Amino acid sequence: MQGYIYPNEFELQWSLLIVLYPYLTGLVAGAFILASLERVFNVKEVQPTYRLSLLTALAFLLVAPLPLLAHLGHPERSYEIFLTPNTNSAMAMFGFVYAWYLAVVLLLEVWFDYRKDMVLWARESRGVRRWIYYVLTLGATDISEKSLRFDDSAGRWITVIGIPSAFLLHGYVGFIFGSIKANPWWSSVLMPVVFLFSAMVSGIALVLVLYMLTTMFRWRKIDMACLDKLAQFLFYALVVDFSLEALDFIHRLYESEESIEILRQLIESRLFISLIVLQVVMGTVIPLIALALVSPGLKKGGFLRTPPELRQIIYLVAAVFIQIGIFSIRWNVVIGGQLFSKSLRGLTVYKVELLGIEGLAMTIGLLLLPFVILWVLVKLLPPWSDGPEPDTPPASG
């Protein structure tokens, strides 16, 4: 116990699962906001990713509360927040926000968007698959022009409602951290805004990766207009996110409160790799430079004229680096804010366990689970607009 200043917080209360939770909700919010670009703001270039974005948001939303439930240890008691609501607790109100976003926003939008297709699939399919699609239609099999116009209008309004709902879903996480005044690493009015823009960055980057990989695995040609537009929005969101984080850091330096010394020690020792190397350099600076150099949307033809194949590789690597950086942000916020004593005069350490409910294996499992759910959703509700996948790859040349 040498080197620790009492009162000492030797064990961290929030561990790796709580790092995972805001990361997952950020992907949900970012993917949904990307889907709204085509539905509400009429950005036609990103249309190939619209349905994929919706299904991605749904898959990750289904898993988002699991880290919290696993951390609490008694998931069977979670229903009690609905029976005895506490409006004074931001954490308790999350259950209502989650239920609203899942049932009213995402599920309804997916249903209205797919209803016509599900009716047609129910007519064309055989056996169990036919009954699955019929059940999913909820008996609404009218696909007349008037009915389809209603579906489109209802889906559009749900998307409009879903945009502030997505902000609320993820922004409240930043609100919880930012409102803890006793912790100088968390206490910041910019925390909810930073969380929101980092969510947009992570969601766009994830859909970009998924779109590229699924298109290549299906032996289809990647729509470069769509990919370039995604890279353009990713660049702009990353610029705003980095600017807000830099502004928050500069504000802390300008205030120079008594906590500035312990925060300096925290960054230089405990968080140097995760903050400086992974978050700033790998997750922000390198993708910003790469996207600025090759994205045609930022300058006519891009600052560097690159063939589409090279741009695809650069976009993919940049998006993966961004995901590492965003996860590092969540790590630095959740773990970093617990590494110094409340006396502001000593640092503790956090060692990740491999097994156990709070271990690395559980975290990796929960991180992979949304991709399994997404695979099932894609098989059941194909998001593609170019027909079924070919059985064999196209002939070269």
Residue range 222-235: average pLDDT? Answer: 91
How far, in Å, CA of 94 to CA of 117, rounded? 33
Q: What is the pLDDT of residue 393?
A: 46
Residue-averaged pLDDT of the chain:
83
pLDDT interval class at 239 (50, 70, 90)? very high
CB-CB contact of 188 with 250 (8 Å) = no
Range ranked top by mean pLDDT from 114-128, 301-315, 348-362:
114-128
Does 282 have pLDDT greater than 90? yes
pLDDT interval class at 9 (50, 70, 90)? low
Q: What are phi and psi of 100, to 5 degrees?
A: -60, -50
Indicate the DSSP class of residue 57.
Answer: H
Taking phi over 0 as left and psi of -120 to 50 as alpha, with beta for the rest, 301 belongs to: left
How far, in Å, CA of 205 to CA of 322, rounded? 7
pLDDT tens digit sequence for 74-107: 777 877 777 777 777 777 777 788 888 877 788 8
Give burial (CB, 10 Å; 0-12/13-18/19+) of 288.
Answer: middle
Does 336 have pLDDT greater than 50? yes
CB-CB contact of 224 with 395 (8 Å) = no
pLDDT tens digit sequence for 41-53: 888 888 899 999 9
Does 286 have pLDDT greater than 90? yes
Q: Compute CA distances 214 → 210, 312, 382, whole Å.
A: 6, 13, 11
Q: What is the pLDDT of residue 256?
A: 66
Does 192 have pLDDT greater than 90? no
Residue range 304-325: average pLDDT? Answer: 89
Q: What is the pLDDT of residue 11?
A: 67
